[in-house]
A and B are shown apart, each in its own frame.
Chain A
């Protein structure tokens, strides 16, 4: 057991190293020098050189104790990403953005999961009927509508036209108020794909042998559905939920942009339009680390529950 955990921990090292390599290649080798832009209008060559020096653009890429490569690793491993283009420490920005992002994504995500699992149960119950077929069709149709259209129409009708929800973030509003509409839109948009997934999970379970046995024993459908199917289907459902958690921290790029929610998605959008590689780099790295950590936790939990896993 301990050996497994240690092995699993060691396994994360190459992944973290890989992510660091990836971000280095992307943002330092391919991305390149942005000192001209930092310098601003009318900057003299000497100012530009100073900035190169400050950000280390003039340092050798590799093969030096003080190379950009080494510094990239150092800053990532100590979580000290330096300052964004607006000179605020990046880590501070990220910390501040996590709250609003989670406030949006957590209700949205669990809303989607709860609603789609309950609906999937219902649909699996009437499996094969016209209701089931139309539900599947609606799901596929919902998946086919672009996410942007959901947001646009939702914002236009519910906020602009009918004024049911606030249009945009404003410091006077409580978090619950400005998150309500985007969360609702996110739930509606995410329902199609999720419902279809959970329906498949339920039906897979319903085809397994133990269900056939249960029916053979003479149990009624309702009992089978709730006692056996749901219980067993919980395993893939929970796996999916746990693995999705690190992504919740990232917030929602498009929803946050449309509604001005000051979360991490908003931060990313801003960084993209101003080419702030420092911020994009930090976000990429941190989200990868979160993913690795959560993966690790799930794996260890599994090995605790199911000893077969650690033998693999």
Chain B
């Protein structure tokens, strides 16, 4: 797998560091990935996750180039209203006779988009803030710790809801926050606390290490030390954290959509479950089952893969 070699190379700390650090950097990633590759189940899960991601990417492409394929044609009427699963419509149809299968596939795009955007936002906020707080300490640290202590003293679900309610349909800088934009903003803006705390702690630990001291004595700029030396050394923690957090984001999107705060115009898993709530009583279980299964498989795959990743990359955290 030459891919992993590439990752190793780009992530490797710059050559100015001591030989011991360099060796450690390489062995951490290559060792970890080798360990990971040995876990068959984890690799299966990785493939499942990849399938979801590529499906989402594919739907984006299809919409961009206007390909007329299943998921982008979800709005098309393919049968009677509420037709049960059959050979024609594998997962049956909904109230308008739209294919549940297509809707479920399309929902992948919404969920993956929300979870990805939310992850990027929270990394973009959490990592620099954590690094600054951990590296400079002092007033900057005090302020950052104060901000995240404040945020974490409000229950998470309440915080997301409050953000989502307030941000919904607001126009900010001429851009209207409709549907999922408000959702991933709300999730992203509220969930950087964990990663920020983690990075801050790690940076404090690493600050006293030889390679950092060496870089300082070379006269490297602070920005260089943080972004070229420290962050690459704690990068695996970010990846582990997010492989697990991704699941939480997907579930948060489902709940927000269910509460009517999410995507309204296009199919999403949360909205499908919301519809299914009423339909169950007339015996229409397929919408519910399809959405549940879609969520279940990606969550399961991400959970198992995230665990395996953690076990492989961070031996200290290993459980077994």
Q: Do chains A and B touch in the complex (CB under 8 A)?
A: yes
A residues apposed to B, CB below 8 Å: 14-15, 18-19, 21-22, 26-27, 30-31, 128, 140-141, 143-149, 152, 156, 160, 200, 203-204, 246-247, 250, 253-254, 268-269, 272-273, 275, 277, 280, 283-284, 287-288, 291-292, 295
Per-residue interface assignment for chain B, residues 94 to 122, with 1 indicating a CB less than 8 Å from any chain A CB and 0 otherwise: 00000000000000000000000000000
Q: Does B157 contact A (CB under 8 A)?
A: yes
- Give complex CA distance A268, B161 in Å: 9
Q: Does B276 contact A (CB under 8 A)?
A: yes
Question: Given the interface contacts A272-B259, A273-B260, does A19 sit within 8 Å of B154 by beta carbon?
Answer: yes
Q: How large is the interface on B (under 10, 10 to 19, 20 to 34, 35 or more residues)?
A: 35 or more
B residues apposed to A, CB below 8 Å: 146-147, 149-151, 153-155, 157-159, 161-163, 165-167, 170, 247, 251, 254-255, 258-261, 269-270, 273, 276-277, 280-281, 288, 291-292, 295-297, 299-300, 303-304, 307, 319-320
**Closest chain B residue, CB of each to CB of A156:** B280
In the complex, chain A residues whose CB is within 8 Å of the CB of B300? 140-141, 144
How many Å from the CB of A292 to the closest CB on chain B? 5
Sampled A-B contacts (15; CB under 8 Å): A14-B146, A14-B150, A19-B150, A27-B166, A30-B170, A140-B303, A144-B300, A145-B299, A149-B273, A152-B280, A272-B161, A272-B165, A272-B261, A273-B259, A284-B159
Closest 7 CB pairs of A and B: A18-B150, A144-B299, A144-B300, A149-B292, A288-B153, A291-B153, A288-B154
Query: CB distance A144 to B153 under 8 Å?
Result: no
How many Å from the CB of B251 to the closest CB on chain A? 6
In the complex, chain A residues whose CB is within 8 Å of the CB of B167? 30
Question: Given the interface contacts A144-B300, A148-B254, does A284 sit within 8 Å of B154 by beta carbon?
Answer: yes
- Give complex CA distance A140, B280 in Å: 27
How many Å from the CB of B208 to the closest CB on chain A? 18
In the complex, chain A residues whose CB is within 8 Å of the CB of B277? 152
In the complex, chain B residues whose CB is within 8 Å of the CB of A145? 292, 295-296, 299
- Give complex CA distance A106, B154 in Å: 20
Residue from the list B147, B288, B299 in contact with A152, Cβ < 8 A = B288
In the complex, chain B residues whose CB is within 8 Å of the CB of A295? 153
In the complex, chain B residues whose CB is within 8 Å of the CB of A19? 150, 153-154
In the complex, chain A residues whose CB is within 8 Å of the CB of B153? 15, 18-19, 288, 291-292, 295
Dominant SS at the A interface? helix
Question: Given the interface contacts A140-B303, A152-B280, does A30 sit within 8 Å of B296 by beta carbon?
Answer: no
What 6 new A-B contacts, CB under 8 Å, besides A145-B296, A277-B166, A284-B162? A143-B303, A146-B291, A253-B161, A273-B260, A280-B165, A284-B158
- Give complex CA distance A277, B149 in Å: 23
In the complex, chain A residues whose CB is within 8 Å of the CB of B296? 141, 144-146
How many Å from the CB of B226 to the closest CB on chain A? 26
- Give complex CA distance A275, B260 in Å: 12
Query: CB distance B255 to A144 under 8 Å?
Result: no
Question: Given the interface contacts A149-B273, A149-B292, does A269 sit within 8 Å of B146 by beta carbon?
Answer: no
How many Å from the CB of B318 to the closest CB on chain A? 10
- Give complex CA distance A298, B199 in Å: 25
Query: CB distance A250 to B150 under 8 Å?
Result: no
Query: CB distance B295 to A144 under 8 Å?
Result: yes
In the complex, chain B residues whose CB is within 8 Å of the CB of A273? 259-260
How many Å from the CB of B183 to the closest CB on chain A? 14
In the complex, chain B residues whose CB is within 8 Å of the CB of A149? 273, 288, 292, 295
Question: Given the interface contacts A30-B170, A145-B296, A200-B319, does A152 sit within 8 Å of B276 by beta carbon?
Answer: yes
Query: CB distance B319 to A31 under 8 Å?
Result: no
Question: Given the interface contacts A144-B300, A200-B319, A284-B154, does A26 sit within 8 Å of B292 by beta carbon?
Answer: no
**Closest chain A residue, CB of each to CB of B172:** A30
